[in-house]
Structure 1
Amino acid sequence: METIFDFELPRGYVDNEGGVHKRGKMRLATARDEISATRDPRVLSNPSYLTIALLAEVVTEIEGMPAVNGTLIERLFTADLAFLQDMYQRINDIEPPKVQCVCPDCGKVFQVPINFTEEG
Structure 2
Amino acid sequence: MRTEFEFELPRGYVDESGTVHRHGAMRLATARDELLPLADLRVKENPAYLSVVLLGLVITRIGTVTDVHGGVVEKFFASDLAFLQDFYRRINAEGHTRAAVTCPECDSSFEVDLAGGRLGES
TM-score bracket relative to the smaller structure: 0.7 to 0.9
Q: Which residue of 1 aligns with 2:38?
A: 38
Using the size of structure 2 for normalisation, the TM-score is 0.79
Using the size of structure 1 for normalisation, the TM-score is 0.81
User: Is 1:117 aligned to residue 115 of structure 2?
Assistant: yes
Structure-2 separation of matches of 1:12 and 1:114: 20
Number of equivalent positions: 108
Q: Which residue of 2 aligns with 1:88?
A: 88
Farther-moved stretch of structure 1 (26-35 vs 56-65): 56-65
**3-state SS of 1:43 partner:** helix
Report the AA paired with residue 40 of structure 2.
D
Higher CA-based Rg: 1
Report the AA paired with residue 58 of structure 1.
V
Q: CA 1:94–1:11 in structure 2 vs 1: closer, same or farther (change >3 Å)?
A: closer
Q: CA 1:113–1:38 in structure 2 vs 1: closer, same or farther (change >3 Å)?
A: farther
Shift of the alpha carbon at 1:93? 1.2
Structure-1 separation of matches of 2:92 and 2:30: 9
Structure 1 vs Structure 2 CA RMSD: 2.0
Q: CA 1:59–1:66 in structure 2 vs 1: closer, same or farther (change >3 Å)?
A: closer
CA contact (8 A) 2:61 2:68 kept: yes
- % same residue: 48
User: Is 1:62 aligned to residue 62 of structure 2?
Assistant: yes
Misfit runs of 4+, over 6 Å: none
User: Is 1:20 aligned to residue 1 of structure 2?
Assistant: no
Q: Which residue of 2 aligns with 1:108?
A: none
Q: Can you give the 5+ residue segments of structure 2 that lack an aligned partner in the other structure?
A: 101-109
Shift of the alpha carbon at 1:116? 2.3
Deviations 1:62-110 (A, max 9, x none): 11224101111000001110110010000011454676xxxxxxxxxxx
